Amino acid sequence: MKIARWSLDFYRLAYRRQVVWANAIEDAGVYALLRVESDDGLAGMAEGTVKATWSGVSPASLAAAFRDLVMPAAAGLDVSDPATLRQALAPLPENRLAKGMLETACWMLRAARARQPLWQFWGGTPEVEVTWTVTRQPPEVMARDAAGAAERHGIRAFKIKGGQGMDVDRRALRAIRRAVGDDAVFNVDANSAYAPDEAAGYLRLLEDEGVVTAEDPCPLRPDAHFEALQRGTSLPILVDSPCATAADAALFLERGARSLSAKPGRIGMTETLAIGALARKYGARVATGIYAESALGTLINLQQAAAVPADDCAFAAEQTFFLTLAEQIVPAEPVIRRGRVALPPSPCLDDWIDRERLERHRLPVSVS
């Protein structure tokens, strides 16, 4: 099965409110849609999140990477074999987003050839539990945000952005706990905000507040400090920012990591599968991490989350950011009931896109 045609389109979708990330403040997101078509007319697709501070690309630079590097490397390949494609892309340094998008699109293409949605092709489940991400705000605002997600969608797992100072983080956790109840589970992501010599104290704070996972409490490296930090806490330290490849994952696992982030939106499904396989070998777990996906990217990337066995799952999948967007390019947003998303049963991916909406939000950059 070879790629006969491909296209890359970009679109901008407004948020319902301003979003404060650790490294940016935004009122809209820019996305890339890769569509590949096989020589027998089947289609696969992937969405990329275009953020200079996350993926290090602009629409123009990503388009150039596909046109000049990534798609020429895949020309004429039999992409039915994921190892063949991975080997062909390996000589290209960097370009993580572009390579990952192509690998994801080809996984969707393989499933389409089997006439199955990808979650079924991988032996997964049709529903996925999801997490609501509570971004940095004053504690009372964060509590209202979490309570709203619990009330509207039945969500019981929360990724809470820390890093506002230990006192503010503590007050936020307590306010959110009061708002959503004792049975809710918390992962706190400090986005490496605390210094290495503060991290042990921060982990004790999180333990005291009933948190179940601590993500990037400080800048992490696969070294003796990380090993001692993980050994000294009952909490799994979820390694996210410095775990962007399977090679990174191996180094942290050798230092005793118990939990790794595997983000298909950041590095593609082939690399995240490799991270998952390594984690399983070491008895660690993986979390399907947020990459600020739109509704379309959510439907695509949750295919992977649906195939992660319960015993291998560190935390509920984080793909709920689409609820923050005021605009979408899908006919209807995914519905979250009792904290779970039901995935489409159809392998026909073109049914997932509203072409009129795509045209409305399209940016004047495209390539094929």
Tokens of 245: 């490849």
Kindly state whether residues 17 and 149 are assigned to the same domain: no
Q: Is residue 266 part of a domain?
A: yes
Q: Is residue 218 part of a domain?
A: yes
Kindly state whether residues 17 and 124 are assigned to the same domain: no
Q: Per-residue confidence at 236, pLDDT binned at 50, 70, 90?
A: very high
Looking at residue 300, which CATH number applies to its domain? 3.20.20.120
Kindly state whether residues 278 and 184 are assigned to the same domain: yes
- Average the pLDDT over 271-287 and give the result: 98
* Bridge pairing between strands 336-337 and 340-342: antiparallel
Q: Is residue 237 part of a domain?
A: yes
Kindly state whether residues 153 and 71 are assigned to the same domain: no
Q: Is residue 144 part of a domain?
A: yes
Kindly state whether residues 238 and 101 are assigned to the same domain: no
Q: Is residue 12 part of a domain?
A: yes
Q: Is residue 207 part of a domain?
A: yes
Q: Is the pLDDT of residue 366 over 90?
A: no
Give the model confidence (pLDDT) of 116-166 as tens digits.
999 999 999 999 999 999 999 999 999 999 999 999 999 999 999 999 999
Kindly state whether residues 111 and 125 are assigned to the same domain: no
Kindly state whether residues 106 and 124 are assigned to the same domain: no
Give the model confidence (pLDDT) of 198-215 as tens digits.
999 999 999 999 999 999
Q: Is the pLDDT of residue 47 over 80?
A: yes
What is the per-residue pLDDT for 25?
87
Q: Is residue 348 part of a domain?
A: no
Tokens of 318: 């984080």
Beta strands in the chain (DSSP E): 3-20, 25-38, 43-49, 127-129, 131-134, 157-161, 185-189, 213-215, 237-239, 259-262, 285-288, 336-337, 340-342, 362-367
Dihedral in degrees, nearest 10, Cα atoms 152, 314, 23, 243: -150
> In the 8-state DSSP scheme, what is residue 333?
P
- Average the pLDDT over 29-45 and give the result: 96
Question: DSSP letters of 193-235?
Answer: -S-HHHHHHHHHHHHHTT-SEEE-SS---SSHHHHHHHHT-SS
Q: Is the pLDDT of residue 367 over 80?
A: no
Helix (H) or strand (E) holding 103: helix 96-113
What is the per-residue pLDDT for 270?
98
Tokens of 220: 């992490």
Dihedral sign for Cα 306, 19, 145, 331, please: negative
The residue that leads in pLDDT, 366 or 360, is: 360
Burial (0-12, 13-18, 19+ Cβ within 10 Å), 358: middle
Place of tokens 């319960």: 310
Kindly state whether residues 238 and 323 are assigned to the same domain: yes
**Boundaries of domain holding 48:** 3-115+353-367
Kindly state whether residues 141 and 290 are assigned to the same domain: yes
Secondary structure class of 284 (helix, strand, coil): coil
d(CA 20, CA 137): 8
Give the number of domains in the chain: 2
Kindly state whether residues 171 and 300 are assigned to the same domain: yes
Kindly state whether residues 191 and 330 are assigned to the same domain: yes
Q: Is the pLDDT of residue 59 over 90?
A: yes
Q: Is residue 347 part of a domain?
A: no
Looking at residue 35, which CATH number applies to its domain? 3.30.390.10
Kindly state whether residues 152 and 100 are assigned to the same domain: no
- Average the pLDDT over 101-126 and give the result: 97
